[in-house]
Chain A
Amino acid sequence: MTAVLWTWFVGYLVVRFKGPNVERVLNAAAQNGIVLWRIERLTTDIVVARLTVQQFKELRPILREFRVGAAVFERQGFPFILAQLKRRLFFIVGLAAVSVMILYLSSFVWFIEVIGSEDIPADHILDVAVTNGLYSGLPKTAVNTAALEAALLSNFPDLAWANVRVEGTRAIIEVVERQKDEYDPSVIGDIIAAFGGVVTDVFVARGTALVHPGDVVEPGDVLISGTYYDTRGQRQQGRAQGKVLAKIWREAFAETALFEDYQLETGQTSTQWRLKLGKIMIPLGPGSRFDAYRTDERVWQLKIGTIGLPIQFVRRTFHEVEYERRYLPQHLVEEKAREAAWSVLERQGVDRTKAEEVHISTVPVPDAEAVRVIVAVRLEQNIGEFQPH
C-alpha cells in the first residue's frame, strides 16, 4: 500500500510497448534497475506497463536498441493533477473561496424549527426563543440550549418539557405540552345549555336541576346549578354534574358551484433557476412568460457530509395552463352541496344515524352561479356544557 501511495505521489506513466521483442525490453529494463509493474499483455505484440517518469527517460535507449515502440497513453499521480490544477488557477481559487465560505456559513444557525406544539402557537415559542437570543444568523457556538430551555419552560407554564438542539444549520425546539385534566372536581360551576331545544330528560349527579322535561331552553340557560343543600340544609357551592337530553334542531348549509374549472396544460414550459442563501432568494433568470401557469420546483441542498448548508439551488419549471369550464348536472351539484352540509354537521358532532327528522332545502345563488343546500336535522342529544364560575 505504501509503494502504491508513493508511486502515486511521485507520478507514473502507463506506457504501451509495441514490437516483437517486448520481453527482451522488459528484461533489459529489469537488469538496468528500472522497475515495471502491472505489466499486461493486450495482443501478441502489445504490452502495457507502468513505470515512473524518471525511469521512462532511462528506458529510452533500451527501446531504441531493441526497436520497440513506446507510447504514453495515461499519466497518473499527484504531479500531473497539480499541473492540471495550475492551468485552472482561478477555478481552484474560486473553489477554495467557496469552500471556505460554505464552511464559515455552516457555523451559523440559519433555520429555527418548532416541533411538538399543539395548543401553544409555534410563533409564540419562536418569539420567546428570539427574545432569549436564538435567531437566524447566530453562531452555533453562541447557542445556549440550557438557558433557552429554561426560558421556554418559565414563559409557557403549559409546557411539560422543552429541548433545544442544533442539527447542521437548523436549531430545533422540541416541546411537549402538559396533558390537560379532563375533570377537576374542585372547580365550581354550572351546566348550561349549549343549544336551544325542548328538554326531554334530566339526570343530575350533583347540583340542582333548574329545568324539567317539556321545558323550552335557549343557549346559555343554566340547566343544572352547582348550588345544592347538604344534609344539614346548608347551602353549598360545587361542580354541577349531569346530563340534560333535549330535542334540538341543528342546521348547516353548504354551497357548490354549478361548474368545475379544469386546468389543462398546453405543453409550453419555461425554466428559471434561483439561488437561495439562507432566507434570501436570488433569481438567476427571468420568471414565467405565461399568464396562467403551474409551477414545479426542484431543490438541490448543498451538504458537507450530513450537514445541510444554507445554500440551495432551485429550479422552477413553469407549465402554461388553460382553464376550461364544464357545467355539472343540477342533481349532481345538489348532491355535492348536501354532502358538504352533512359534513359540516358531522364536524359539529351530529351523528347522521341518530337524526329523527331531516329537512333539506335548496336555494339558488344566482350571482355566484352556485346552489346552496340547507340541511336541518332534529335529534335528541345532551345539550349540557360545563361552565365554571
Chain B
Amino acid sequence: MPRVQNIKKQFARFMDLPSEAVMNTAEVRVVGHMEVTITNHRGLVEYTTTVVRVNSPQGTIVVSGKGLFIEYLSHDELKLGGKIAGIDLQ
C-alpha cells in the first residue's frame, strides 16, 4: 500500500494535481483560532461544544476548543467554527 501511495504522490506531483484528490487523503485548513475546514472526511464520530472527532482516511481528526459548532456539513466537507484550541490526528 505505501508503494501505491508513493506512486500516486509522484503522479500528482508530475501532473501538478492536488495531492489530496489523487491520494484520497483528508485536508485540514485552519483560519486563525476560529475556523477549521476538513475536506475528504469520512463522517462525524463525536460532536460536543468542546471536542469534535471526525473520521478520515488517515485516522481520527480531533478538534478541541470552546463553543464549537458545525458551520456546515456535506458529504465531503465539514467546516467548524468556535474558539479552536487544538487539532490532533489519532
Interface residues of A (CB under 8 A from B): 22-23, 26-27, 29-33, 35-41, 44, 47, 49
Q: Which partner residue on chain B sits nearest A42 by CB separation?
A: B49
Task: Tell me whether B71 and A23 are in contact (CB under 8 A).
Answer: no
**Residue on A nearest B79 in the bound complex, by CB:** A37
Known: A27-B43, A30-B43. A41 touches B48 (CB 8 A): yes
**Top 7 closest A-B pairs, CB basis?**
A39-B70, A37-B72, A27-B43, A40-B69, A30-B75, A23-B44, A35-B74
Q: Which residues of B contact A39 (CB under 8 A)?
A: 47, 69-70, 72-73
CB interface residues, B 32-90, toward A, < 8 Å: 43-49, 68-75, 78
In the complex, which residue of chain A has the Cβ closest to the Cβ of B43?
Answer: A27
Q: Residue of A at shortest CB range from B68?
A: A41
Give the chain B neighbours of A32 by CB distance below 8 A.
Answer: 75
Contact B73 A38 (CB under 8 A): no
- B contact face: mostly helix, strand, loop, or mixed: strand
Whether the Cβ atoms of B71 and A30 lie closer than 8 Å is no
Alpha-carbon gap, A41 to B48, bound state (A): 6
A29 to B72, alpha carbons, bound, how many Å?
A: 12
Evaluate whether A36 and B72 lie within 8 angstroms (CB atoms) in the complex, with A41-B48, A41-B49 already known: yes
Q: Which of chain A's residues have a CB closer than 8 A to the CB of B78?
A: 30
A23/B70 contact (C-beta < 8 A), A30-B75, A31-B75, A33-B75 known: no
Q: Which residues of A contact B69 (CB under 8 A)?
A: 38-41
Offer 14 A-B interface pairs, CB within 8 angstroms, sorted by A. Answer: A23-B47, A26-B44, A26-B47, A29-B73, A30-B75, A32-B75, A36-B72, A37-B73, A38-B69, A39-B70, A40-B69, A41-B47, A41-B48, A41-B68
**B residues near A36, Cβ cutoff 8 Å:** 70, 72-73
Please, how many angstroms separate the alpha-carbon atoms of A323 and B82 in the complex? 69
Cα-based distance from A98 to B43 in the complex (angstroms): 55
The interface residues of chain B lying within 8 Å CB-to-CB of A26 are: 44, 47, 70, 73
Whether the Cβ atoms of A37 and B46 lie closer than 8 Å is no
Contacts of A49 in B (CB 8 A): 70
B72 touches A27 (CB 8 A): no
Interface contact A35-B73, CB-CB below 8 Å? yes
* Closest-CB distance, B25 to chain A (whole angstroms): 19
**Are B46's CB and A23's CB within 8 A?**
yes
- A35 lies within 8 A of B72 (CB): yes
Cα-based distance from A37 to B79 in the complex (angstroms): 9
Q: What's the least CB distance linking B79 to chain A, in Å? A: 9
The residue among B47, B68, B73 with the most chain A CB atoms within 10 A of its own CB is B73
Residues of A within 8 A of B75 (CB): 30-33
Q: Are A30 and B73 in contact (CB under 8 A)?
A: yes
CA of A30 to CA of B48, assembled, Å = 18
With a cutoff of 8 Å between Cβ atoms, the chain B residues found around residue A35 in the complex are 72-74
- Docked CA distance A319–B75 (Å): 70
Q: Which residues of chain B have C-beta atoms less than 8 A from A33's C-beta?
A: 74-75
- Chain A contacts of B43 at CB under 8 A? 27, 30-31
Q: Which of A35, A38, A40, A47 has the most CB of B within 10 A?
A: A40
CB distance from A142 to the nearest CB of B (A): 57
Further pairs besides A26-B70, A31-B75, A37-B71: 7, Cβ < 8 Å: A22-B47, A23-B47, A30-B75, A35-B72, A37-B72, A38-B70, A41-B48
Least distance between B7 CB and chain A CB atoms (Å): 29
Q: Which B residues are in CB contact (< 8 Å) with A37?
A: 70-73
